[in-house]
Structure 1
Amino acid sequence: MVSIEKYSVKRKYEANLLSVKPEQSEFTAGNINDVLSSLKEHEHPHLIINNSEVAGFFLLDLFYTETYGFSNLKVLGIRALLVDHRFQGQGVATKAINLLPSYVDNNYPDFQALQLTVNCRNKAAYNCYCKCGFEDTGELYLGGPVGPQHVMQRKIV
Protein backbone atom coordinates (compact mmCIF):
# COMPACT_ATOMS: atom_id res chain seq x y z
CA MET A 1 0.00 0.00 0.00
CA VAL A 2 1.30 3.45 -0.96
CA SER A 3 0.77 6.51 1.23
CA ILE A 4 2.14 10.01 1.77
CA GLU A 5 3.43 11.33 5.07
CA LYS A 6 5.14 14.51 6.19
CA TYR A 7 8.85 14.05 6.67
CA SER A 8 10.01 13.60 10.24
CA VAL A 9 13.48 13.06 11.66
CA LYS A 10 12.50 9.56 12.79
CA ARG A 11 12.67 8.63 9.08
CA LYS A 12 15.90 10.54 8.38
CA TYR A 13 18.08 7.44 8.00
CA GLU A 14 15.67 5.79 5.55
CA ALA A 15 15.20 9.01 3.57
CA ASN A 16 18.96 9.46 3.22
CA LEU A 17 19.20 6.01 1.62
CA LEU A 18 16.98 7.05 -1.29
CA SER A 19 18.68 7.08 -4.68
CA VAL A 20 17.80 6.86 -8.35
CA LYS A 21 19.39 5.09 -11.28
CA PRO A 22 22.57 6.81 -12.53
CA GLU A 23 20.89 7.94 -15.77
CA GLN A 24 18.16 9.68 -13.73
CA SER A 25 20.44 11.52 -11.32
CA GLU A 26 20.66 14.72 -13.38
CA PHE A 27 16.86 15.13 -13.12
CA THR A 28 16.63 14.81 -9.32
CA ALA A 29 17.60 16.88 -6.33
CA GLY A 30 20.40 14.49 -5.39
CA ASN A 31 21.23 13.94 -1.75
CA ILE A 32 18.12 14.19 0.45
CA ASN A 33 20.17 15.41 3.41
CA ASP A 34 21.40 18.37 1.31
CA VAL A 35 17.83 19.20 0.30
CA LEU A 36 16.63 19.03 3.91
CA SER A 37 19.50 21.13 5.24
CA SER A 38 18.70 23.98 2.83
CA LEU A 39 14.90 24.00 3.27
CA LYS A 40 13.05 27.27 3.43
CA GLU A 41 10.02 27.68 5.69
CA HIS A 42 7.60 27.46 2.75
CA GLU A 43 9.05 24.14 1.51
CA HIS A 44 7.41 21.16 3.20
CA PRO A 45 9.22 17.82 2.82
CA HIS A 46 7.17 14.66 2.37
CA LEU A 47 7.85 10.96 2.01
CA ILE A 48 6.27 8.34 -0.21
CA ILE A 49 5.71 5.21 1.83
CA ASN A 50 5.30 1.77 0.27
CA ASN A 51 4.25 -0.96 2.71
CA SER A 52 5.81 0.96 5.64
CA GLU A 53 9.13 1.52 3.80
CA VAL A 54 10.33 4.93 2.63
CA ALA A 55 10.15 4.68 -1.16
CA GLY A 56 10.35 8.31 -2.26
CA PHE A 57 10.57 11.96 -1.41
CA PHE A 58 9.19 15.31 -2.58
CA LEU A 59 8.68 18.89 -1.48
CA LEU A 60 5.45 20.82 -1.47
CA ASP A 61 6.29 24.47 -2.15
CA LEU A 62 3.72 26.89 -0.71
CA PHE A 63 5.26 29.91 -2.53
CA TYR A 64 5.35 28.27 -5.98
CA THR A 65 2.95 30.80 -7.52
CA GLU A 66 4.90 33.72 -6.11
CA THR A 67 8.28 32.27 -7.14
CA TYR A 68 7.49 31.05 -10.65
CA GLY A 69 4.22 32.72 -11.67
CA PHE A 70 3.23 30.03 -14.20
CA SER A 71 -0.44 30.34 -13.29
CA ASN A 72 -2.99 32.81 -12.01
CA LEU A 73 -4.42 30.11 -9.71
CA LYS A 74 -3.25 29.58 -6.14
CA VAL A 75 -0.82 26.76 -6.95
CA LEU A 76 1.01 24.34 -4.68
CA GLY A 77 4.28 23.31 -6.27
CA ILE A 78 5.69 19.79 -6.31
CA ARG A 79 9.47 19.83 -6.37
CA ALA A 80 12.37 17.39 -5.96
CA LEU A 81 10.15 14.32 -6.46
CA LEU A 82 12.00 11.04 -6.64
CA VAL A 83 11.20 7.38 -6.21
CA ASP A 84 14.04 5.15 -5.08
CA HIS A 85 15.43 2.83 -7.77
CA ARG A 86 14.37 -0.23 -5.74
CA PHE A 87 10.70 0.80 -6.02
CA GLN A 88 10.62 1.94 -9.64
CA GLY A 89 8.51 0.00 -12.12
CA GLN A 90 6.06 -1.10 -9.41
CA GLY A 91 3.51 1.70 -9.78
CA VAL A 92 4.65 3.47 -6.61
CA ALA A 93 5.10 6.87 -8.29
CA THR A 94 1.74 6.64 -10.06
CA LYS A 95 -0.08 5.69 -6.86
CA ALA A 96 1.60 8.46 -4.86
CA ILE A 97 0.96 11.14 -7.48
CA ASN A 98 -2.68 10.07 -7.71
CA LEU A 99 -2.97 10.48 -3.92
CA LEU A 100 -1.71 14.07 -4.03
CA PRO A 101 -4.96 15.90 -4.92
CA SER A 102 -6.89 14.46 -1.96
CA TYR A 103 -3.85 14.76 0.34
CA VAL A 104 -3.48 18.43 -0.59
CA ASP A 105 -7.21 19.09 -0.33
CA ASN A 106 -7.17 17.68 3.23
CA ASN A 107 -3.89 19.25 4.39
CA TYR A 108 -3.50 22.42 2.27
CA PRO A 109 -7.09 23.49 1.52
CA ASP A 110 -6.19 27.01 0.32
CA PHE A 111 -4.69 25.75 -2.95
CA GLN A 112 -6.55 25.27 -6.25
CA ALA A 113 -4.01 23.34 -8.31
CA LEU A 114 -0.79 21.35 -8.25
CA GLN A 115 2.04 22.33 -10.53
CA LEU A 116 5.48 21.00 -11.36
CA THR A 117 8.14 21.13 -14.00
CA VAL A 118 9.69 18.10 -15.67
CA ASN A 119 12.75 18.10 -17.88
CA CYS A 120 11.90 17.78 -21.57
CA ARG A 121 14.30 14.82 -21.83
CA ASN A 122 12.73 12.95 -18.90
CA LYS A 123 10.09 11.11 -20.92
CA ALA A 124 9.33 8.51 -18.25
CA ALA A 125 8.44 11.14 -15.64
CA TYR A 126 6.50 13.21 -18.19
CA ASN A 127 4.41 10.18 -19.20
CA CYS A 128 3.80 9.27 -15.55
CA TYR A 129 2.52 12.77 -14.76
CA CYS A 130 0.24 12.71 -17.82
CA LYS A 131 -1.14 9.32 -16.76
CA CYS A 132 -1.89 10.85 -13.34
CA GLY A 133 -3.99 13.68 -14.73
CA PHE A 134 -1.39 16.43 -15.09
CA GLU A 135 -1.67 18.48 -18.25
CA ASP A 136 1.16 20.14 -20.11
CA THR A 137 0.43 23.89 -20.01
CA GLY A 138 2.40 24.41 -23.23
CA GLU A 139 4.80 26.65 -21.33
CA LEU A 140 8.48 25.85 -20.90
CA TYR A 141 10.55 26.75 -17.87
CA LEU A 142 14.05 27.66 -19.02
CA GLY A 143 15.66 28.23 -15.62
CA GLY A 144 16.36 24.58 -14.81
CA PRO A 145 19.93 23.34 -14.31
CA VAL A 146 19.84 20.73 -17.11
CA GLY A 147 17.72 22.24 -19.86
CA PRO A 148 14.14 23.23 -20.63
CA GLN A 149 11.28 21.82 -18.59
CA HIS A 150 7.60 21.31 -19.33
CA VAL A 151 5.27 23.13 -16.94
CA MET A 152 2.52 20.72 -15.90
CA GLN A 153 -0.59 21.32 -13.84
CA ARG A 154 -3.48 19.43 -12.28
CA LYS A 155 -6.47 20.97 -10.54
CA ILE A 156 -7.01 19.71 -7.03
CA VAL A 157 -10.81 19.38 -7.09
Structure 2
Amino acid sequence: MQTRLVDYHDLSASQRQQLGYLEVTHEQIQFSGDIYTALNTLLVRPSPNICGFVLLGDEKPVGFFLLKRDDCLPHWAQEDLTATLHALQIDHREQGKGLGKACLQALPAALRLKWPDITQLMLSVDADNSAAIGLYTGQGWGGYR
Protein backbone atom coordinates (compact mmCIF):
# COMPACT_ATOMS: atom_id res chain seq x y z
CA MET A 1 0.00 0.00 0.00
CA GLN A 2 1.36 3.42 -0.98
CA THR A 3 0.81 5.99 1.76
CA ARG A 4 1.04 9.74 1.95
CA LEU A 5 0.03 12.30 4.55
CA VAL A 6 -2.06 15.26 3.37
CA ASP A 7 -3.77 18.26 4.90
CA TYR A 8 -7.51 17.64 5.29
CA HIS A 9 -8.26 20.68 3.14
CA ASP A 10 -6.34 19.13 0.22
CA LEU A 11 -8.66 16.11 0.01
CA SER A 12 -10.97 15.68 -2.94
CA ALA A 13 -14.72 15.71 -2.31
CA SER A 14 -14.74 11.93 -2.72
CA GLN A 15 -11.91 11.47 -0.21
CA ARG A 16 -13.69 13.71 2.31
CA GLN A 17 -16.76 11.55 1.98
CA GLN A 18 -14.68 8.37 2.38
CA LEU A 19 -13.05 9.82 5.51
CA GLY A 20 -16.46 9.76 7.17
CA TYR A 21 -16.32 5.96 7.03
CA LEU A 22 -13.10 5.76 9.06
CA GLU A 23 -13.83 3.76 12.20
CA VAL A 24 -11.82 2.78 15.25
CA THR A 25 -12.81 -0.02 17.61
CA HIS A 26 -15.19 0.66 20.46
CA GLU A 27 -12.30 0.27 22.92
CA GLN A 28 -10.22 2.86 21.06
CA ILE A 29 -12.93 5.53 21.05
CA GLN A 30 -12.27 6.24 24.75
CA PHE A 31 -8.70 7.22 23.83
CA SER A 32 -8.93 8.86 20.40
CA GLY A 33 -12.58 9.71 19.99
CA ASP A 34 -14.21 9.01 16.65
CA ILE A 35 -13.83 10.67 13.26
CA TYR A 36 -16.98 12.76 13.72
CA THR A 37 -15.71 14.30 16.95
CA ALA A 38 -12.32 15.01 15.39
CA LEU A 39 -13.85 16.59 12.28
CA ASN A 40 -16.18 18.64 14.48
CA THR A 41 -13.12 20.03 16.28
CA LEU A 42 -11.54 20.89 12.93
CA LEU A 43 -14.52 22.26 11.03
CA VAL A 44 -17.22 23.71 13.31
CA ARG A 45 -15.10 26.60 14.58
CA PRO A 46 -12.21 26.76 12.11
CA SER A 47 -8.97 28.08 13.51
CA PRO A 48 -5.56 28.64 11.92
CA ASN A 49 -4.22 26.93 15.06
CA ILE A 50 -5.87 23.55 14.41
CA CYS A 51 -4.93 21.41 11.45
CA GLY A 52 -6.22 18.02 10.37
CA PHE A 53 -4.04 15.54 8.53
CA VAL A 54 -5.21 12.46 6.66
CA LEU A 55 -3.14 9.39 5.90
CA LEU A 56 -4.05 8.12 2.47
CA GLY A 57 -3.42 4.49 1.58
CA ASP A 58 -3.61 4.03 -2.18
CA GLU A 59 -5.39 7.42 -2.23
CA LYS A 60 -8.11 6.27 0.22
CA PRO A 61 -8.32 7.75 3.75
CA VAL A 62 -7.05 5.21 6.29
CA GLY A 63 -5.90 7.46 9.14
CA PHE A 64 -6.42 10.87 10.67
CA PHE A 65 -5.05 13.15 13.37
CA LEU A 66 -5.20 16.74 14.56
CA LEU A 67 -2.42 19.15 15.41
CA LYS A 68 -2.99 22.17 17.65
CA ARG A 69 -0.90 25.18 18.58
CA ASP A 70 -1.01 28.60 20.26
CA ASP A 71 -4.42 29.40 21.79
CA CYS A 72 -5.71 25.89 21.00
CA LEU A 73 -3.08 24.09 23.09
CA PRO A 74 -4.25 22.01 26.05
CA HIS A 75 -3.31 23.22 29.54
CA TRP A 76 -0.45 20.73 29.83
CA ALA A 77 1.37 22.11 26.79
CA GLN A 78 1.37 25.86 27.33
CA GLU A 79 4.85 26.47 25.96
CA ASP A 80 6.11 28.69 23.17
CA LEU A 81 6.58 27.15 19.72
CA THR A 82 4.80 23.92 20.70
CA ALA A 83 2.24 21.88 18.81
CA THR A 84 0.27 18.95 20.19
CA LEU A 85 -0.95 15.76 18.53
CA HIS A 86 -4.58 14.69 19.06
CA ALA A 87 -7.12 12.11 17.92
CA LEU A 88 -4.75 9.80 16.05
CA GLN A 89 -7.01 7.24 14.42
CA ILE A 90 -6.30 4.37 12.04
CA ASP A 91 -9.32 2.66 10.51
CA HIS A 92 -9.86 -0.62 12.36
CA ARG A 93 -9.97 -2.53 9.05
CA GLU A 94 -6.44 -1.30 8.27
CA GLN A 95 -4.80 -1.68 11.68
CA GLY A 96 -1.76 -3.90 12.06
CA LYS A 97 -0.27 -2.77 8.74
CA GLY A 98 2.15 -0.15 10.07
CA LEU A 99 -0.09 2.81 9.26
CA GLY A 100 0.20 4.42 12.69
CA LYS A 101 3.95 4.23 12.25
CA ALA A 102 3.59 5.76 8.77
CA CYS A 103 1.64 8.68 10.26
CA LEU A 104 4.29 9.36 12.87
CA GLN A 105 7.12 9.07 10.37
CA ALA A 106 5.46 11.55 7.98
CA LEU A 107 4.47 13.92 10.79
CA PRO A 108 7.71 15.94 11.19
CA ALA A 109 7.87 16.93 7.51
CA ALA A 110 4.16 17.79 7.43
CA LEU A 111 4.53 19.87 10.58
CA ARG A 112 7.52 21.78 9.18
CA LEU A 113 5.56 22.61 6.02
CA LYS A 114 2.42 23.69 7.86
CA TRP A 115 3.94 25.50 10.85
CA PRO A 116 7.68 26.00 10.29
CA ASP A 117 8.08 27.98 13.53
CA ILE A 118 7.12 25.01 15.75
CA THR A 119 10.11 23.51 17.55
CA GLN A 120 8.41 21.04 19.90
CA LEU A 121 5.71 18.44 19.40
CA MET A 122 3.90 16.95 22.40
CA LEU A 123 1.11 14.49 23.07
CA SER A 124 -0.71 13.00 26.01
CA VAL A 125 -1.40 9.29 26.26
CA ASP A 126 -3.72 7.56 28.69
CA ALA A 127 -1.68 5.20 30.88
CA ASP A 128 -4.10 2.38 30.00
CA ASN A 129 -3.56 2.77 26.25
CA SER A 130 -0.71 0.29 25.91
CA ALA A 131 -1.03 0.05 22.12
CA ALA A 132 -0.52 3.80 21.71
CA ILE A 133 2.32 3.88 24.23
CA GLY A 134 4.04 1.09 22.29
CA LEU A 135 3.55 2.94 19.01
CA TYR A 136 4.89 6.25 20.30
CA THR A 137 7.87 4.84 22.20
CA GLY A 138 8.69 2.61 19.24
CA GLN A 139 8.95 5.75 17.12
CA GLY A 140 11.26 7.52 19.53
CA TRP A 141 8.79 9.58 21.56
CA GLY A 142 9.91 9.89 25.15
CA GLY A 143 8.45 10.86 28.48
CA TYR A 144 8.30 14.51 29.41
CA ARG A 145 6.22 14.93 32.55
Q: TM-score range by the shorter chain?
A: 0.7 to 0.9
Q: Give unmatched runs, 5+ long, in structure 2.
A: none
2:44 to 38, 41, 63: 38
Q: Tell whether 2:116 aligns with 1:119.
A: no
The alpha-carbon distance between structure 1 residues 95 and 64, as it changes in their structure 2 partners (threshold 3 A), is farther
List, as ranges, runs of 4+ consecutive aligned residues in structure 1 with deviation greater than 6 Å: none
Aligned residue identity for 1:20: V
- Per the alignment, residue 87 of structure 2 pairs with 80
1:7-156 correspondence runs (5 A): 7-8=8-9, 10=13, 11-32=15-36, 33-41=39-47, 42-63=49-70, 67-70=74-77, 72-137=79-144, 139=145
Superposed CA deviations along residues 41-87 of structure 1, whole A, max 9, x for unmatched, are 02111111112110011111122785425364511111111111011
State how far apart, in whole Å, the 2-side matches of 1:55 and 1:98 are: 15
Aligned-pair identity in percent equals: 23
Structure having the higher strand fraction is 1
In angstroms, what is the RMSD of aligned CA positions?
2.1
Counterpart for residue 151 of structure 1: none
CA contact (8 A) 2:73 2:84 kept: no
CA distance in 1, matches of 2:73, 2:102: 28
* Aligned pairs, number: 138
- Does the CA-based 8 Å contact 2:42-2:50 persist in structure 1? no
**Structure with the higher fraction of residues in helix conformation:** 2
Any stretches of 5+ residues in structure 1 without a counterpart? 140-157
Contact 1:28–1:82 at 8 Å: present in 2 too?
Answer: yes
